[in-house]
Structure 1
Amino acid sequence: MGGPSAEREVSMSSGRECAAALREEGFEVVEVDAGRDLTARLGDISPDVVFNALHGRWGEDGCVQGLLEWLRIPYTHSGVLSSSLAMDKQRCKDVYAMAGLPSVQSILADKASVEAAHMMSPPYVVKPFNEGSSVGVYIVQDTANGPPTLAPDMPDTVMVEAYAPGRELTTTVMGDRALTVTDIITDGWYDYHAKYSEGGSRHVVPADVPREIFDACMAYAQRAHDVLGCRGISRTDFRWDEERGLDGLILLETNTQPGMTPTSLSPEQARAVGMSFGAFCRWIVEDASCDR
């Protein structure tokens, strides 16, 4: 849990919640704030399984997965390749395209070029291509006078993506089973505050959408999970433009390390299909591996 990424605080919250739930399930749990001494810490602890509650770079992009593979310690969630593919938003979209999954146009560009001129017609979105939790996201509206001025800590290469209007939907996949669809309702867009603050958003579970859209979300999420080679749980996020029907449903991204905080979507979806948080965490642990 924890680690050095921009999503450290979310990861700390996820880790605390999962540790408490697993203790109630009868596991002996050691909480590790992942730092540069992680290899030594794991050597001292000699765990049977690592529950990976890290979010963001290093914990979600294949890096810590590679370390755990090298140490031959079974770990939860996706492996090296699927983690790195899903975290790299452009490569993830390339996989979507090969699988016939719908997404919007996007390009990678250097930060200076993005600040100098519109890289595509507004409205569009600028964001890091390898972060999560809506960190560093800029929405450039069609009324904008010019391109955005990005924060100094934005990476040198960013993603510029056509803006997808509509409702925010999401589906968790648990192994070979898509759980349900959530409709995320906010006053503005689903930013970091809306995701992790109490009352920042309202979730309708199961989503009140046409059966065709509900079924498509379930099928698309399972297909994304499979073609990316995910294991354990993943969560795929969608935008749906109601006016366009099924043609208005597009995939935004697939998360291989869904949040496990009190306001997180995947535990909420597990509860909606009859699985307690403790049972959900237990299933994730029992699915752990370092061989696939």
Structure 2
Amino acid sequence: MIELSNKTAADYGKVAVMLGGTSAEREVSLNSGKAMLAGLQQMGVNAYAFDPAERALTELLTEKFDRVVIALHGRGGEDGSLQGALQLLNLPYTGTGVLGSALCMDKIRSKQIWQSLGLPTANYKIADKRSFDAGSCGAIMASLGEEVMVKPAQEGSSIGMARVKNALQLETAIQDAFKYDNKVLIEQFVHGSEYTVSILNGNALPSISMSTPREFYDYAAKYQSDNTLYSCPSDLSVEEESHLAELALEAFDAVAGSGWGRVDFMRDQLGRFYLLEANTAPGMTEKSLVPMAAKQAGFSFAELSFAVLTTSDQIR
């Protein structure tokens, strides 16, 4: 059982819940932030909403906030820029620091680090908008297999992603992904089930398996569909659960993740796990995965929100 902090709500003073922002994930962030704000207030925390799209960060100082809970998703919230600004303002904040946030936001660099350490991740290619040759799509498909996933390097919530099965589809998907990012990850498609492991203060929460009738676990499957199936606890044996937890913690640490987050996997038909990505400020909506795993571990949403707040105690 994961122990909650023995600190009280009063120990954290006046807390800003950073939500909204300007990224493509603004709507999800607003929902996450509002839910976390309610959870923190339920725990007695003196917490207030703060949308950096509408207010200057310097207002955190003028309004005498003591801590910041980051519920921003995507660019401007998960990529290290906000973390750096808060450190310059000398304000403690939740979750991963500058380096880890930048690395985890970049799917390509995350994979390169995992690959260098011998951690399992699917084969991939990189498309750069400055030098992309549409004529290379056939060779890319031949090298990676019959199906691939196309992903903007630095977007979340499956925005700009596509599953493709031939060279013509690949060219279209890459051009669409270039609308979001100058670099695009082209990843060998792993046939199997998707799993995720949430991390809280150095501990892995119970894994969750997801299945959807859609082409893949996309934005609609995550936030809009009622047909996505979640299993928590998942279908893993005790030994497999332990292995996946260890792999998640190792992968998160490798990209300098800390405090709390989530690591996503695919499991192929032979039972092998492959790392997809690490998230440093995962969704906290009613359909989100971290609250689901926390509930299985015995935490209420309010307790989870407070546990996330305690990650602001990290020494940076």
Is TM > 0.5 for Structure 1 vs Structure 2?
Answer: yes
Which of 152, 160, 164 in structure 1 is aligned with 2:186?
A: 160
**Counterpart among 102, 108, 123 of residue 147 in structure 2:** 123
Deviation at 1:200, TM superposition (A): 4.3
Query: Cα deviations across residues 112-136 of structure 1 (Å, max 9, x unaligned)?
Result: 7264441512411211101111010
The offset of 1:97, in angstroms, is 2.1
Q: Which moved more, 1:113-122 or 1:173-182?
A: 113-122
Matches of 2:71 and 2:278 in 1, distance apart? 16
Which residue of structure 2 aligns with residue 12 of structure 1?
Answer: 30
TM superposition shift of 1:93: 1.1
Q: What is the CA-CA distance between 1:36 and the residue it aligns to?
A: 7.0
- Of the candidates 58, 74, 79, which is equivalent to residue 40 of structure 1? 58
- State, as a whole percentage, how many aligned pairs show the same letter: 36
Instruction: Tell me the SS of whatever aligns to 1:148.
Output: helix
Q: Determine the structure 2 residue equivalent to 1:99.
A: 117
- 1:105–1:162 contact (8 Å) kept in structure 2: yes
Which residue of structure 1 aligns with residue 128 of structure 2?
110
Superposed counterparts of 1:1-292, under 5 Å:
1-35=19-53, 37-111=55-129, 113=132, 115-118=134-137, 120-121=140-141, 122-142=146-166, 145-149=168-172, 150-151=175-176, 153-188=179-214, 189-197=216-224, 199-242=226-269, 244-245=270-271, 248-289=272-313, 291-292=315-316
Shift of 1:41: 2.3
CA contact (8 A) 2:32 2:283 kept: yes
- Give the 3 Å change call, closer, same or farther, for CA 200–84 of structure 1 in structure 2: farther
**Letter in structure 1 aligned against 2:171:** P
Per-residue deviation, residues 242-268 of structure 1 (Å, max 9, x unmatched): 3x22xx210101111111011000011
C-alpha distance in structure 1 between counterparts of 2:225 and 2:189, whole Å: 27
Instruction: Tell me the C-alpha RMSD between the 2 structures.
Output: 1.8
Letter in 1 for 2:98: V
Matched position secondary structure for 2:44: coil
Tell me, what secondary structure is at the counterpart of 1:161?
Answer: strand
- How big is the shift at 1:141? 1.4
Equivalent position amino acid for 2:140 in 1: M
Given the superposition, is the C-alpha separation of residues 70 and 291 from structure 1 closer, same or farther in structure 2, using an over 3 Å criterion? farther
State the alpha-carbon separation in 1 of the partners of residues 78 and 162 from structure 2.
22
Give, in angstroms, the shift of residue 232 of structure 1.
1.5
Q: Deviations over 1:173-197 (max 9, x none)?
A: 1122111110101112100011112
Aligned residues: 288
Q: Is the 8 A contact 1:114 1:148 kept in 2?
A: no
What residue identity is the alignment partner of 1:51?
V
TM-score by length of 2: 0.86
Cα distance between partner residues in 1 of 2:179 and 2:251? 31
Deviation readout 1:142-178 (Å, 9 max, x if unpaired): 5x65533233723232111111221011101112211
- Which residue identity lines up with residue 74 of structure 1 in the other structure? P
* Alpha-carbon contact 1:114-1:147 (below 8 Å) kept: no
1:170–1:217 contact (8 Å) kept in structure 2: no
CA distance, structure 2, for counterparts of residue 291 and residue 24 of structure 1: 27
Deviation at 1:203, TM superposition (A): 0.8
SS at match of 2:71: coil
Structure 2 residue identity aligned to 1:12: L
The residue type equivalent to 2:152 in the other structure is: P
Secondary structure, in 3 states, of the residue corresponding to 1:239?
A: strand
Q: In structure 1, how many angstroms separate the alpha carbons of the residues matched to 2:287 and 2:76? A: 23
- Name the aligned partner's letter for residue 113 of structure 1: F
Whether the aligned pair in 1 keeps the contact of 2:284 and 2:290 (CA below 8 Å) is yes
Per the alignment, do residues 16 and 114 of structure 1 end up closer, same or farther by CA in structure 2, a change over 3 Å counting? farther
Tell whether the 8 Å contact from 2:260 to 2:311 is kept in structure 1 after alignment: no
Aligned residue identity for 2:179? D
SS for the counterpart of 1:288 is: helix
CA contact (8 A) 2:284 2:291 kept: yes
Structure 1: any 5+ residue segments left out of the alignment?
A: none
Q: Distance in 1 between matches of 2:135 and 2:58?
A: 46
Name the SS of the counterpart of 2:291 in structure 1. Answer: helix
SS in 2 for 1:169: strand
TM-score after normalising by structure 1: 0.92
